[in-house]
Structure formats: C-alpha cells, structure tokens
A and B are shown apart, each in its own frame.
Chain A
Amino acid sequence: MLRLKVSDRQEITTLHSFLTLVFSIVTGMLAISLIFLISGANPLYAFAKIFTGSFGSIYGIKETITKAIPLILIGAGLAVAYKAKFWNIGAEGQLLLGAIFGTWVGLNLGESLPFYIIVPLMFLAGFIGGGLLGAIPAILKIRYSVNEVISTLMLNYICAEFLTFLIVGPWKGKTKFGFPYTDDLPESAILGVISGTRIHYFTLILGILSVLFLGFLLFKTRFGYEVRVIGENPNAAKYAGISFFRTLLIVMIISGGMAGLAGVGEVAGIHHYLSYPASISSGYGFTAIIVAWLAKLNPIYVIISGLFFAGILVGGDAIQISLNLPAATVFVFNGTLLVFLIMGDYFLKHRVKLQWSRT
C-alpha cells in the first residue's frame, strides 16, 4: 500500500524558509500558467503583461501603489491580530464600516470645516467604526467563547448589507440621478493625489507611519509582548497574569481600526462617495489576509508583501483587458498563489514522504 508519512520538521533555517518561499511562488506561477493555457492564452505573454501592467510601466507602478495603500493598512492590522492567534477574517466588513463612519463625518461636517480638521476627523471616525466592529468578536470570544472565525466572517455580510441599505435608502444622494450612491464628499473632505496618479498620499503616509508604529508596538512594547505571549502559549499568558480581555480587545480594536482607515482612504481618496460594497473594496479585506501571512506577521514586511499583491491585482486587471480573460482571473491567480504559499509553509514545517509499505 502506498502511504504518506508526515512528521514535524524540527529545525528550519532562514535559507530553507527563503528558498521555500521562492519555490512556492515559482510553482504557483507554473500552476497559473496551466490555467492560462487552458483558457487559451500564452502564459509567457500573460506573465509579461502582468509584469508590465504592474511594476514594468509608469502607469502600472502608479496603480500598484494606489492599490497597495489599503492592503498595507489592513495587512498590518491583521498581522497584529494573527500574532495573538485571533483569526480575524472580518477586515472586509471593518473596512466598509470605517468607510461608512468616515463618509458620515465628511458629508455632515465637511462643508463647515477646513481640510486640516475634517480629514483627521474622518480618519478618526473610520478607525472608530472599524475598531468597534473588531471589538464585537473579541468580546463574544472572551465572554461567551464564540469562535471568532465565524463571528468576523458573518459581520462582513451584515456590514455589506448595511452599506447597501444606506445607499439605496436614507443616504441616497440627491445629486446622483437616482443611482444608489451618496452625494459627493465636499471639496475639503477629498484627499489630494500625486498629480497624474490616483495615489492619495495622505493615506499612503498614514499607512507607512502606522506600519512602523505597529512594528514598534508588537516588538518593543509591553503590550506587544503580552500579545505575543498570548499567541505563543495562552496558558503561560494566564500564568503570567496577562489579561486576555484587555489585550485581545485592544488587539481587535487596532486590527479593525486599521481596516477602517483603509475604508476612509478608499472613499475620500478614490471614489469620493459611497457606492456598492464591491466597488468600495474589491476584496481588499480578504487579499490582506494573504498579505499578512506572506509578511510572516511582521507589520514592517507588510509594506513589501502589500506592494507585491497590489502588483498582482493590477497586473491581473491588465491581462483581463489585453487577453480578454474573464474578470475572475485575478481571483484565480490570487487564490492559486495562496494555495501554493500555504503548501510551501506546510512542507517547510513538516517532512512528508511517500512510501510503499506492506500490510
């Protein structure tokens, strides 16, 4: 009988883990080539297009940076939650609620306040919105042992429906000819862009600063220490007198809040009004999960992995147009890569052998 033998790998060197990463990406690309072949495209041409579409052209680079902004913000927040082994997969909803909170501030206070007051207020509101939504699963988990994967996932749908309800109902814009959009944000609440691009630099700077801050928080502070002890060994955390309630609550407020910031950035920097959930976010909250893992849960590395995945998103858009592939191609691309990254991680941590054995 053919048998799989799996055992834990006890020692892992840095070189080994780096090579595994490269190998996973390369084999992932090979698998994607197969998908291209099946859909009748030349894989080499497609990859060339993806590259020129993302990092290989001025336009591509601009778009890649634009899309990296939300991924970096959310990815860094998720890294903090995952470091505490709190599986937050609700960033999509947290982003949307942040966008809703921020837009409300912008629409209602924007006319009367100058740029330098209204913009920080909007981001603050967005952080609070996302943070509140993040706090719910934390409380549910600690007080009532509700599994956070389920609660965070479910809240995504609630937020998406809530947003849809707002734009077709009470918040429907008077200037939008009956379309389900809110009115445009007033001038003072709209973020400036680097000219000739869609890069809303305020959010970009905010993203980089918060990544640095979270890196500091996680690895240099007392709080970060407690987060890591909880993630490493909850029993030891209890023994050390660390409060789970306080720590996980703050972790999830940060994690949700970061997604909320991204939501405000998308509305105030790109769309300028609220519309359907899918157009506000295009799945950043889920893509950021991969971003956080690829960065090995280190907020600083999230900058690199965020840019990488933004490049894939943008390159995916490019081949979709030039090769006439269906819109879902990017998701297939992303998903395939994720599967290979996870497999790589598995083979890094385990030794797997296929063997013939009698009986």
Chain B
Amino acid sequence: MRKIEQLEMAGITKLFHGVPANKDINLSIRSGEILGLLGENGAGKTTLMNILYGLYQPDAGQVLINGKPVRISSPQESKMHGIGMVHQHFMLIESHSAMENICLGYDAAPLVFPKAKLKRQIIEFSRKFNFDVDLDKPIWQLSAGEQQRVEIIKALFNGADLLILDEPTSVLTPQEIKELFVILNKMKDEGHLIILISHKLDEIMELCDRVTVLQKGAIVGDAETKDVDKKILARMMIGRDVIFNIEREEIPSSDRVLSVDKVVVTSDKGIPVVSNISFDLYRNEIFGIAGVSGNGQKELVEAITGLRKIESGSIVLDDQEISNLSPRAIYDKGISHVPEERIKFGIAPGLFLYENAILKQHHLKKFASRLSLAYNTVKDHTRGLIESFQVHAPGISIPTKNLSGGNIQKLILGREIDDNPPVLVASHPTYGLDVGATEYLRKQLLKRRKEGGAVLLVSEDLEEIFELCDRVAVIFKGEFMGVLKADDPKLCDIGLMMAGSLRI
C-alpha cells in the first residue's frame, strides 16, 4: 500500500543565521509524477529537499502528506513516511561494504543479521534494475559512479514512495543514465513520486512532467515541461541566455609537456588497475579520457598527481621524471588537480572558506613565510577568487561545508585554475555546476588551452568531452581502447569502446 498519494510543501521558509535559503516555497507533487527542481548553485534546492528528508526544520511553513500536516524531525521519520533521498554527496560509510551500507537502517532486517538471505534479496533487486555493483567491496574502493549506484539501490531497497534524487546523474555514463531513467519511468508508472534535481536541462526535459525553478531561495517559475524548452528554462534560472555550444577554435598543438609511458598502477587491494598506459599531452591541447568510472581513470589520475605510487613505467613532465614524487613536489612543478570527489579530497569541510582557498598552496611564498601564514593576503586572494568564479557564499569566514555543492566545486576549480598551471588534471570538473557556471568553466578551460596550457580532462560526460577535447582516449579495464582525434568519424563507436568490445 502506498503511504503517499500526494505531498505538499506550503509556505516553507528556512533561514541560516538569519539569511534565507528558502523563502515561502509552495510546491506539490502527486503519485505518478516526476517533478524537476532547477536552480543556480546555491539557489536552495538541497536545503528544501533536506527539509523533506528531516535533516532541517523549516522556520515557517509545513509539509502535508495526503492533505494532512506532518512533522518530519529526523531522517528516520521521513523514511517512515515513505520518503527516500539520494544525496548530492555520498553519505555512505567508507569502511563498510556496499551490502552493509544498503542494509543500514533497513527496517525489515531482523535482529540477527541474515547476511546470505539479504544479499540474495539485494542481488535480485539490483538485477531487476540492472545495477551492477560488487556488494562485498568496501565503499572506499568503489568509484564515484559505483557509489552513486549503491546510494540509489539503498533508497529503493528501503521502500521509498517518494524518491528524491539530488543530482543523481552527474557521475553516470550516458548508458547508465538511460538505465536509470528506465527505472524511474517504471517507478512512475507504479505510482511512485519522484523529485529530481539536476543541472542537465536535457534530462529534465526528457524525464519530468513538471518543473519548478528556484532562484535565490524563492520560486521564480513553474511549468509543464511540454510547454517549455531548454532555452526558456535556462533563462528562468539565471535570467539570461546561455550558450550551450561554445566555439572551439582550431589551435595547432605545440610542444609536449607531459609524457606518460607504460605506466602500471595497482589498486588499494594490490590488483593492477592501470596496465601499460602510454600517452603524451601537448601544450594548447585538451586531452580527454572517457570511460565508465571504475576502469582505472581514478588511479591513473592519482598516479600522475602523486597520490598513488606507480609500479613501473615513467611519467615525465618537461623532461623531468616526476613519477612517485610527493603531491606537493608535483604541484610545485606545475600540475594542478581537480579531484573527483570534492568533499573527500578537495576541502577540509570544517575549515573556513579562506583556509580552503589555499589548500595545497599554503606553502607558497605569496601566502606564507617560513613560519606564519599571511592571513590578510589569503583573505584578499579568497575574495578575488569568489568574485571571479562567482562562488555564492554568505562570507569567507564560514565553514566551507555550509556552501552549496556547486559552490564548493567552484571554489576548488577557482583555486586550481587561477594560477594558470601548465598542466591541469581535472576529473569531472563540471560535476554539480549549474548551466551558467558550466559555460564559464568551459570557457576558462578553452582559454587555458589558447594560452598554452594543457588540460587532462577525465569525464564520463561525453557531450563535455566532445565539446572540449582535441583528442580523446577511451579507457576500459585499465587500458586505452584507442586514442582518437576529436574529428575522427570512428568516434561514433565510442560506446562500444567504452564497453570494451572495440579496440582501435
């Protein structure tokens, strides 16, 4: 039996230290409907959904389920009411296996944990939805995409009627997204209610029945998707037109900066996950690595940036061997890194914004003498970063974890790009950015390319890869299935290459 036929949020207002994150929000959704929630980074989407999920209490307004007001004061209560949420940042327990995470908080689990039985159920369940995850692996060994899948299985397995998905597709491949949409449509037909937050307007258009647009905490628009198009939505969101296809001018690539030669890298378990990969990276070039996450791209990036030792091979930057140097030495030689998991690696969440704005650079002369840190310079620098990368934050002396997801990403991007590094290694750089910020970032990357920088772009977002890259390598099970020029007609087989069934 369904617990939720119809859910309504009425007059919801939420303040953080007096600053409104949500202002008088009215929203409703009924069984069999998919509602899209759109808005710039920091518009208040996650906050609003966290109120439904019981993490925050609204300062005004109420939630009504089937017309009756309810109080949701904790995630457990929200689950009891039939609400499930897949968060923007993974909320899994690192050292536990995928299976244990899925069962965590599973009410139907008896006291004595019947592992084999539950596992069978989960496997059956995930097979039904075409999810492929190794249930016994601990979370920290899973790639972002795999973790995302665990989160989705977890919410579904706990029997949610209303499923909230906060940017669920950011780290999924097109194929996985398609599969997810099939599932969501199936759920919709069964009468589930789904709220989808996404910055990808195509997805919203394809999947949602209705869309609600937030701006600076307030609702600025509400429409049936059949009555609008991408352009209109973008304008509703940021109040101006967005260029979806940016021009990439032809620049001949010049000298080689980075040369990766027959590199072998093992996983945390000691299994080789990058086998004999070789490639060169040139100035004035954006080199893309496409592939389903979990195929070794994470480890390859970690090896190049010094976070992981290589077993054999060599990595040469400007004629200097840099393999197995410390992350700091590699940074100082000119390789910046936008990490895949921004909360886990990119910031110290409890430290202030200005302290995170110099993470990795705090040892540089401009910010520090031998002993002390020049906090005034640091703060000025942070203000500059925030300004040019449009990080929306109430101030720079606030814990960084209080920023919205997209704004944290902008802060990290600003920090890593601002210095014009000769080589930028970026994993999923536009992950979680709104359309305006994505456009800005892409322009920045192209600007770096024009100025003589080299960018190594790791992404599952093929559209992004095609739009930006001069050459594309496709990675599968730790090997390149081929390296192709951006205009190579063979690229239309990229899907086959990503699946490992075609090598060029």
Contacts and interface: CB of A to CB of B under 8 A. Distances in A.
A174 interface: no
Contacts of A357: 80
B373 A229 contact: no
Interface of A: 5-8, 10-11, 13, 220-223, 225-226, 228-229, 232-233, 235-243, 351, 353, 357, 359
B351 A228 contact: yes
Contact of A5 (B76, B306, B350): B76
A10 B14 CA distance: 13
Contacts of B80: 357
Interface stretch (B159-167, B217-225, B275-283, B338-346): B338-346
A226 B360 CA distance: 10
Contacts of B74: 5-7, 351, 353
Given A222-B372, A240-B359, A241-B328, A5 B77 contact: yes
Nearest to B343: A233
B373 A235 contact: no
A238 B308 CA distance: 10
A220 B328 contact: no
Interface in B68-105: 73-77, 80
B345 to A, nearest CB: 5
Given A240-B327, A353-B74, 15 more contacts: A10-B55, A11-B56, A220-B373, A221-B373, A226-B362, A229-B351, A229-B355, A232-B348, A233-B344, A236-B344, A236-B347, A239-B359, A240-B360, A241-B360, A351-B74
Contacts of A229: 348, 351, 355, 359
A353 B73 contact: yes
Nearest to B363: A222
B313 interface: no
B113 interface: no
A221 B75 CA distance: 40
Interface string B452-471: 00000000000000000000
B3 to A, nearest CB: 14
B362 A225 contact: yes
A220 B327 contact: no
A353 B355 CA distance: 36
B181 interface: no
A59 B339 CA distance: 60
A262 to B, nearest CB: 25
A56 B89 CA distance: 53
Nearest to A8: B55
A7 B56 contact: no
A214 to B, nearest CB: 14
Contacts of B373: 220-222, 225
A225 B337 contact: no
User: Can you list the 9 inter-chain pairs with the closest CB atoms, starting with the nearest?
Assistant: A241-B328, A232-B348, A7-B74, A241-B327, A240-B360, A233-B348, A239-B345, A222-B368, A240-B359
Contacts of A228: 348, 351, 355
Contacts of B17: 13
A351 B73 CA distance: 9
A239 B73 contact: no
B355 A225 contact: yes
Contacts of B346: 236, 239
B375 interface: yes
23 contacts: A6-B74, A7-B54, A7-B55, A7-B76, A10-B56, A11-B16, A221-B372, A222-B362, A222-B371, A225-B355, A228-B348, A228-B351, A229-B351, A232-B348, A232-B350, A233-B344, A233-B349, A236-B345, A238-B307, A239-B346, A240-B362, A351-B73, A357-B80
Interface string B310-330: 000000000000000011110
B348 A236 contact: yes
Contact of B351 (A10, A232, A243, A359): A232
Contact of B345 (A235, A241, A353): A235
Nearest to A234: B348
Given A222-B372, A225-B373, A241-B326, A235 B344 contact: yes
B70 to A, nearest CB: 14
Q: Determine the main DSSP class of A at the interface with B.
A: mixed
B378 to A, nearest CB: 10
Contacts of B337: 239
Contact of A220 (B76, B339, B348, B375): B375
A7 B75 contact: yes
Contacts of B326: 241, 243
Interface string B16-55: 1100000000000000000000000000000000100011
Contacts of B350: 232
Contacts of B307: 238-239
Contacts of A220: 372-373, 375
Contacts of A7: 54-55, 73-76
Interface in B353-410: 355, 359-360, 362-363, 368, 370-373, 375
Contacts of A5: 74, 76-77
A6 B331 CA distance: 43
* A5, A13, A235, A351 interface centre (most CB from chain B within 10 Å): A235
Given A10-B55, A229-B351, A236 B359 contact: yes
Contacts of A351: 73-74
A357 B16 CA distance: 32
A359 B76 CA distance: 15
A155 to B, nearest CB: 28
A4 to B, nearest CB: 10
B71 to A, nearest CB: 11
Contacts of B345: 235-236, 238-239
* A7, A220, A351, A353 interface centre (most CB from chain B within 10 Å): A7
A351 B56 CA distance: 11
Nearest to A359: B107
B76 A239 contact: no
Contacts of A239: 307, 327, 337, 339, 345-346, 359-360
A339 B25 CA distance: 43
* B75, B80, B306, B348 interface centre (most CB from chain A within 10 Å): B348
A276 B328 CA distance: 49
Contact of B327 (A10, A232, A233, A238): A238
* A13, A228, A239, A242 interface centre (most CB from chain B within 10 Å): A239
Contacts of B107: 359
Nearest to A222: B368
A235 to B, nearest CB: 5
A24 B352 CA distance: 28
B334 to A, nearest CB: 14
A240 to B, nearest CB: 4
Contacts of A238: 307, 327, 345
B339 to A, nearest CB: 6
* A10, A232, A237, A240 interface centre (most CB from chain B within 10 Å): A240
A11 B82 CA distance: 25
Nearest to B399: A232
B465 to A, nearest CB: 24
A243 B339 CA distance: 19
* A6, A8, A13, A229 interface centre (most CB from chain B within 10 Å): A229
A6 B54 CA distance: 12
B408 to A, nearest CB: 12
A357 B339 CA distance: 44
A357 to B, nearest CB: 8
A275 B373 CA distance: 45
